[in-house]
Amino acid sequence: MEDFYTKEEQKEIDLQLRELINSCQKCKNAENEKLIIKAFKLADRAHKGVRRKSGEPYIFHPIAVARIAAREIGLGTKGVVAALLHDVVEDTDYTVEDIERMFNPKIASIVDGLTKLEGIFLQSESVQIENFRKLLLSMVEDVRVILIKLADRLHNMRTLDSMPENKRLKIAGETLYFYAPLAHRLGLYAIKTELEDLSFKYEHPGIYKEISKKVVAGSLKQLNQINEFAEPIKERLADEGYEFEIKGRPKSIYSIWTKMQKKDLPFEEIYDLLAIRIVFKPLPGMNEKTQCWAIYSMITDIYKPKPDRLRDWISVPKANGYEALHATFMSSSGNWVEVQIRSVRMDEIAEKGFAAHWKYKENRDKESELDNWLKKIRELLENPDDDSIEFLDDFKLNLFASEIVVFTPKGDKITLPNGATALDFAFEIHTDLGYRCIGAKVNYKLVPLSHKLKTGDQVEILTSKKQKPKWEWFDFVTTAKAKTRIKQAFRKERKKFIRKGEKILESYLNEKKLAINSKILKKLQHHYNVKNKEELYFNIGKGIIDLKNASKVLSDKPYNKWVRYWKLSFGKGKDQDKAAPKVDKKKTLLLTDDKEQHNYTIANCCNPIPGDDVIAYQDDDDQLVLHSRKCKTAIKLMSSHGDRIVPAQWESQKILSYIALIKITGIDSLGIVSKLTKVISDDQNVNMRSIHIDSHDGIFEGSIYLYIHHTRDLNNLILKLMKIKGIHTVIRQERLNE
């Protein structure tokens, strides 16, 4: 075992250890260095003989994680030591007690928080989400747990190439759904951006390469434009006596793609690709906020600003502590350029998030923001009745990417997610205030509970002692706290109705000589549009669902007009009941026209068609459901049930047709419909199923259902339709109307 490493590997390990110690700014004394070396030796001994999928010694991973924690997040000695030991308890024979004995209780506690749960889980439970829950519980006690976990996830994403595709999809999915928003919430913008780009790279490799090529191709031109734009600003700042740095801020691949999707724009029309960041050292005698506005004013003397693109996060910082002034200016070459203005302190906090706040302890507000957020997470974790998926959804509400800031009648600041209502505000102040809320005054104007708030609103809650929580409040509250408190108010009543509903259903099925099982429950859940069996029992018990028509539902085969089975039956269906062969999740599922394939269901939430990037999800009945990789449901499934994900890929499709829906808008003119239908009927690869056009005030909107074989046929048709005079937009809608 002594000769496990080659000479080159041993040399590289020694070099990386030295780089780790040098990169830790808070480890610059002999005692701290000794502790790090001790942790390294233990990790090296524990992982000796183990190699990663890439073939390199496993010890490279904990060293890399510790280096990210030190250099890119800014953790100190305890954080670095815990990072070196983060896999020791999980993957080797060492225990938490061993770590505590050799180091100290705090380091042992952090390592324990980073160790995944073991044991047997029911199939309906998600091991991934239960591990997230444990991780968050540990984070509430010590935020370094999640910071080290983010460093661990970042290194895993950087080295994901060596993993099989089904594992890549699982890891990329949970990274995009859980870890990237978490990094954003903690103010780790550089890590959040890299996690998003790497996830996107593995989920949509083709699109990632295409956008990357365009970014690289335009980078030289953009660099010249940025230098030209920045030159007069540099001269002005130098004249004013500032020490500063101006650098280009490249737009991430993922953010470009999401903007293209959201606004339905081609790459060339994403106008804010050009961006610079000004980081300045404050002049003595003036506060940072005043100097940010002074620099903004200097730039307006040179370039014209875009008023609706001014973002002031220095007067009211984001909940994660981010401070900066963002503005967009028109350059002399006719391009919009985004400018971010930050002090050195603001820049460090923007790059290292809450870890950097420890360096600025005199600023108490920033630490209290973290405490407030952790308090919300603690409250969420204290609700034991939530199922795993519901818990993850509620937690996501606390990772809001965009926020609003509203004020109490006394002027106190309250931060809420964008879309929050007056009732959310009431629960944020106090649970009893939420329970007794009957309305609100927003900016002195009376509004209902469901009124959506905007940044700057001043909110006064109106209450009544007679008011009681209502179940329909769920329809418009958005915060996890409000949802949790409403659930708690109805917990006893809900359990009573669930038990009643289960007895009613059991009695009904007994009359039909049937017993409750997963297939029957799934049919009923699908028909009555409820997400789980508890919701089904609750609605039956409360009388919302009447079982009079259930016999027809139970006798029918599950069918949805937008759901299609891959396997076609051309005879009497004699092999319909054959059990589908076991699927090898490590191999890519090839989707062909071959009717002898297993049954594959097309998900109606995203309606993927040949040519789309897809994954398959194996449900409780071992049926495979195809989702588009960019579908929100698919991303959630990859993050919560990654072990059920199967990579899938379309092959040539010439026989089977699939329904696609396109939405069209344009100028209403004589003969426009006949022009549309002629272009479609002349296309040999597409058939029209139906067309619906509405016209009003000289503008028309249309929906066209088509039968197609491949996305390239649909894209070609869209290009042809766009050439018709008067057509403004032609967009594929992935969710089909019912």
The DSSP letter of residue 204 is: S
| CB-based contact 463:438 (threshold 8 Å) | yes
Cα–Cα distances (Å) from 303 to 235, 336, 571, in that order, read 14, 10, 73
Across 345-378, b (16+ Cβ under 10 Å) vs e yields bbbbbbbbbbbbbeeeeeeeebeebbeebbebbe
pLDDT in tens, 91-117: 888 999 999 999 989 999 989 888 875
The DSSP letter of residue 558 is: P
pLDDT in tens, 307-328: 888 989 888 787 777 889 999 9
Q: Determine the pLDDT at residue 398.
A: 56
Distance CA(219)–CA(158), nearest Å, equals: 23
- State the CATH architecture for 658-733: 2-Layer Sandwich (3.30)
Residues of CATH 3.30.70.260 domain(s) within the chain? 658-733
Distance CA(259)–CA(196), nearest Å, equals: 14
Percent of the chain with pLDDT over 90: 24
Q: What is the CA radius of gyration of the chain?
A: 29
Which run of H or of E encompasses 404? Answer: strand 403-407
Distance CA(81)–CA(107), nearest Å, equals: 7
Distance CA(280)–CA(322), nearest Å, equals: 16
Tokens 């027809």, residue located: 552
**Going by CATH, does the domain composed of 402-489 fall within 3.10.20.30?**
yes
Q: Determine the pLDDT at residue 266.
A: 77
Which run of H or of E encompasses 105? Answer: helix 105-113
**Which residue among 19, 90, 387, 403 is the active-site one?**
90
Q: How confident is the model at residue 568 (pLDDT cuts 50, 70, 90)?
A: very low
Q: Determine the pLDDT at residue 383.
A: 58
In this predicted structure, the answer to whether residue 123 has a pLDDT above a threshold of 50 is: no
- Quick one: 304 exposed, middle or buried, by C-beta within 10 A (0-12, 13-18, 19+)? exposed
In this predicted structure, the answer to whether residue 356 has a pLDDT above a threshold of 90 is: no
In this predicted structure, the answer to whether residue 582 has a pLDDT above a threshold of 70 is: no
Residue 424: name the closest of 477, 484, 485, 473 by CA: 477
Residue 647 backbone dihedrals phi, psi, to 5 degrees: -65, 140
Q: Reduce the DSSP state of residue 277 to 3 states and report it.
A: strand
Per-residue pLDDT, averaged over 256-270, amounts to 78
Residue 680: name the closest of 736, 640, 720 by CA: 720
- Residues shown for the chain: 738
- Pairing type for strands 624-628 and 600-602 reads parallel
Cα–Cα distances (Å) from 374 to 174, 382, 391, in that order, read 21, 12, 16
Distance CA(668)–CA(698), nearest Å, equals: 5
Per-residue pLDDT, averaged over 119-148, amounts to 67
Residue 700: name the closest of 735, 726, 733, 675 by CA: 726
Distance CA(652)–CA(592), nearest Å, equals: 6
DSSP E strands, 152-274: 243-248
SS (H, E, C) 563-591: CCECCCCCCCCCCCCCCCCCCCCCCCEEE
**CA 211 to chain CA mean position, Å:** 20
Residue 151: name the closest of 349, 352, 318, 323 by CA: 352
Tokens 């009957």, residue located: 438
Distance CA(35)–CA(29), nearest Å, equals: 10
Q: How is 181-193 classified by DSSP, letter by letter?
A: HHHHHTT-HHHHH
Per-residue pLDDT, averaged over 412-425, amounts to 88
Residue 457: name the closest of 445, 449, 448 by CA: 445
| Assigned token pair, 375 | 């308090």
Percent of the chain with pLDDT over 70: 84
91 is catalytic: yes
SS (H, E, C) 414-482: EEEECCCEHHHHHHHHCHHHHHCEEEEEECCEEECCCCECCCCCEEEEEECCCCCCCHHHHHCCCCHHH
Residues of CATH 3.30.460.10 domain(s) within the chain? 206-360
Please give the CATH number for the structural domain made up of 7-203: 1.10.3210.10
Q: Determine the pLDDT at residue 659.
A: 86
Distance CA(369)–CA(318), nearest Å, equals: 9
pLDDT in tens, 490-529: 877 788 888 898 898 888 888 878 888 877 887 788 777 7
Residues of CATH 1.10.3210.10 domain(s) within the chain? 7-203
Lowest average pLDDT, out of 178-187, 377-386, 479-488, goes to 377-386
Q: Determine the pLDDT at residue 575.
A: 45
| Assigned token pair, 178 | 């859980």
SS (H, E, C) 673-715: HHHHHHHHHHCCCEEEEEEEEEEECCEEEEEEEEEECCHHHHH
| CB-based contact 30:37 (threshold 8 Å) | no
| Assigned token pair, 385 | 């009745």
Q: Determine the pLDDT at residue 379.
A: 64
Per-residue pLDDT, averaged over 474-479, amounts to 88
- Residues 6 or more apart whose CB falls under 8 angstroms from that of 737 comprise 661, 703
| Higher pLDDT, residue 99 or 5 | 99
In this predicted structure, the answer to whether residue 699 has a pLDDT above a threshold of 60 is: yes
Cα–Cα distances (Å) from 287 to 215, 284, 520, in that order, read 38, 8, 67
DSSP H helical ranges for 68-122: 77-84, 88-91, 96-102, 105-113
Residue 274: name the closest of 342, 337, 206 by CA: 337
pLDDT in tens, 724-734: 888 888 888 87
Q: Mean pLDDT of all residues in the chain?
A: 81
Per-residue pLDDT, averaged over 632-640, amounts to 80
| CB-based contact 177:170 (threshold 8 Å) | no
Q: How confident is the model at residue 562 (pLDDT cuts 50, 70, 90)?
A: very low
| CB-based contact 422:437 (threshold 8 Å) | yes
pLDDT in tens, 204-246: 888 899 988 888 877 777 788 888 999 999 999 999 999 999 9
**Which residue among 56, 91, 141, 210 is the active-site one?**
91
- Residues 6 or more apart whose CB falls under 8 angstroms from that of 594 comprise none
In this predicted structure, the answer to whether residue 462 has a pLDDT above a threshold of 80 is: yes
The DSSP letter of residue 244 is: E
Q: Determine the pLDDT at residue 566.
A: 36
Q: Determine the pLDDT at residue 367.
A: 47
Q: How confident is the model at residue 247 (pLDDT cuts 50, 70, 90)?
A: confident
Distance CA(529)–CA(523), nearest Å, equals: 10
In this predicted structure, the answer to whether residue 353 has a pLDDT above a threshold of 60 is: yes
Distance CA(652)–CA(591), nearest Å, equals: 8
Q: Which CATH superfamily is domain 206-360 in?
A: Beta Polymerase, domain 2 (3.30.460.10)
The DSSP letter of residue 593 is: S
**Entry pTM:** 0.72
Residues of CATH 3.10.20.30 domain(s) within the chain? 402-489
Residue 438 backbone dihedrals phi, psi, to 5 degrees: -115, -10
Cα–Cα distances (Å) from 57 to 48, 152, 578, in that order, read 8, 16, 46
Q: Determine the pLDDT at residue 178.
A: 83
Q: Determine the pLDDT at residue 563.
A: 38
